[in-house]
Chain A
Amino acid sequence: MNFIEARKLIHEYIRRDEEENVESILTALDGVDLDVKQGEFVAVLGHNGSGKSTLAKHLNLLLHPSGGTLWVDGKNTQEADSLWDIRQNVGMVFQNPDNQIIASVVEEDVAFGPENIGIPTSEIWGRVERSLKSVGMIQYRQHSPNKLSGGQKQRVAIAGVMAMEPKCIVLDEPTAMLDPNGRKEVLDAVVRLNQEKGVTVILITHYMEEVIRADKVYVMDHGKVVMQGVPRAIFSQVDALKSYRLDVPQITLLAHELHEAGLPIPDGILTRQELVEALCQLY
């Protein structure tokens, strides 16, 4: 069985007026199927309001589905007693770095998760050290989070999740509030965790550049999965992506435009190097 399996997942936000009458229903997830294997790097793309954040919050049971089924790590999320088990195994990193750091010292924040699940003191120290090292923040262990840059804060947040030794981390637009350098720092840390520690990664984002390194990409629109496949296959469908309010990396777009203009360039060019090679072969 896959690490995460969702079948026809539905989530409705129901707004009620003062007399508890249903005022409006917003279907944020509309029959989503999702399969994530252990150790995979999966990206979920979508514009703001496409339902991708709602999906992320289901994966560690911050939200419960209105319909459909979701298995995480072989457990049905409908069963109440699997809640803490799943939360421990599926860590979650949110968009705003400031609003997820609890303690006033970096190492104490990283210890927050292990403290909650009752890890003995001596082991907490080891975990804090290992997870701060894994995101390259060990030299800041004594610092106040307020003095760190956005990228550094977000890496502390990732370390805080890693200290719980989860099998999977879900990152809900972790780079949306960061500058380009911060974005790169965070993404590199995530890719490293995936490749070196074998952590399953689910990255929710609207930056196309960030999903190039993923094993599999899901594209969401209006609560539905509208495209899925390897990055190259996704990026070869430039017009479809545009219709879902997304855009493709500048190089891919250029390759697509050149193709439209009559140059026989292959579909799904992702990097500058690939485009240079393709053009050299044609010339």
Chain B
Amino acid sequence: MLRDITIGQYYPADSVIHKLDPRTKLTATLIYVVSLFVFRGMAGFVAVTLGLLIIIRVSKVPFFYMIKGLKAIMIIVVITVIFNLFLTPGEAIVTFWKLKITWEGLKNAGFLTVRLIYLILGSSVLTLTTTPNQLTDGLEKALKPLNKLHVPVHEISMMMSIALRFIPILVEETDKIMKAQLARGADFESGNLVKKAKSMVPLLVPLFISAFRRANDLAMAMEARCYHGGEGRTKMKPLKYKKRDGVTYVVIAAYFAVVVSLRLVL
């Protein structure tokens, strides 16, 4: 059940994008997301579409695999479209009862759908080509300047990577606890909302107890292996920019310049 969620799970492949420094990918994704909100008009649309298609092609992640991740957000897209379609004031094209669809509404809804879908696809390229560990490493290093503002950057990234390691373990454990309680006649499905919420207690109590226990064990194991925060720590795989990262920065900057100038010119 929980295992079916596939949005953004790492897809191993041998592509240039997979090999890029995670910081480069983070920056590029950020710029791409901004460009989605900057672009205007058909020319801009063509530019962001081309950009996305090229990235997907280069990443060597099968297209259908990316589309699968969209299913989960389809409901949000539909709701947004409906709101925009009916609630944008302007010249009506079709009217039935009190609702009218306007030309502006149609346009808004269209662009919004594009923006949302491209946003998900664009950022899923990041998670599909970057292992969670690389991602946290990249975040840690990219956010390092915040250390001066007393933001515990190292601790946050350590927590993230530990969470990523334990999510599959806890998912599996949830499954086991569920089965153990089902074997005692528990019922997680029928009944109203209150009854359903109540029926979760036999599932949640063992799960929390186990999670605390694991956290306790893990803290002890980390301490035993001389963990004492980020200070004086070295890395097995330190992040280093390579030539391809430089090229990527240039390409993404050029792309952004095109999108912005298209908006200004047209």
Interface residues of A, Cβ cutoff 8 Å to B:
57, 60, 62, 84, 87-88, 91-92, 94, 96, 98-105, 107-108, 111-121, 124-125, 128, 145-146, 160-161, 164
Contact = CB atoms under 8 A, between A and B. Distances in A.
A47 B117 CA distance: 60
Those 4 A-B pairs whose CB atoms lie nearest each other, nearest first? A111-B236, A100-B221, A99-B217, A92-B224
B161 A116 contact: no
A118 B214 CA distance: 26
Nearest to B210: A99
Given A91-B224, A161-B225, A102 B218 contact: yes
A62 B133 contact: no
B265 interface: no
22 contacts: A87-B225, A92-B221, A92-B224, A94-B221, A96-B217, A98-B214, A99-B214, A100-B218, A102-B162, A103-B133, A103-B165, A105-B133, A111-B236, A115-B233, A115-B236, A116-B225, A116-B227, A118-B233, A121-B235, A121-B236, A124-B234, A160-B225
Interface in B177-234: 213-214, 217-218, 220-228, 232-234
A62 B220 contact: yes
Nearest to A96: B217
Nearest to B168: A146
A103 B131 CA distance: 12
Interface of B: 131-133, 161-162, 164-165, 168-169, 213-214, 217-218, 220-228, 232-238
A127 B61 CA distance: 34
Given A103-B133, A125-B236, A113 B217 contact: no
A88 B226 contact: yes
A88 to B, nearest CB: 6
A254 B206 CA distance: 42
B169 to A, nearest CB: 6
A119 B225 CA distance: 13
Contacts of A92: 221, 224-225
Given A115-B233, A125-B236, A60 B217 contact: no
Given A88-B226, A99-B221, A108 B164 contact: no
B220 A117 contact: no
A112 B227 contact: yes
A117 B213 CA distance: 26
A59 B164 CA distance: 31
B138 to A, nearest CB: 14
Contacts of A117: 226
B13 to A, nearest CB: 15
B226 A124 contact: no
A172 to B, nearest CB: 10
Given A101-B165, A102-B218, A108 B236 contact: yes
B63 to A, nearest CB: 26
Contacts of B217: 94, 96, 99-100
A65 B9 CA distance: 47
Contact of A114 (B133, B234, B238): B234
Contacts of A91: 224-225
Contacts of A124: 234-236
